[in-house]
Amino acid sequence: MSFETKLGDEFLKVPKLAAEGTNWVTYKDRLLWSVEARGLRGHLDGSETEPEDPKSLTG
């Protein structure tokens, strides 16, 4: 699956979190923006239901 955006690739890039946590605010904001732009926020906030395990469907 490919995602195109008019906002530019830089908007969707999430920087690596520094080991010391010095860029936490930037990291968190970029992560949330990137996930939201892809329509996946529900997977982070728990509002999206978990998919059913295919193994349990086959009996």
> Tens digit of pLDDT for each residue in 26-50?
999 999 989 988 888 998 888 988 8
* Distance from C-alpha of 21 to C-alpha of 56, rounded to nearest angstrom: 41
Answer with the residue of higher pLDDT: 1 or 52.
52
* Distance from C-alpha of 59 to C-alpha of 16, rounded to nearest angstrom: 42
Cβ contact 28:44 at 8 Å: no
Angle at the Cα of 32 from the Cα atoms of 50 and 8, rounded to 5 degrees: 120
Among residues 40, 34, 15, which one has the least CA distance to residue 26? Answer: 15
Computed over every residue of the chain, the mean pLDDT equals 82
Whether pLDDT at 9 is above 70: no
Prediction pTM value: 0.62
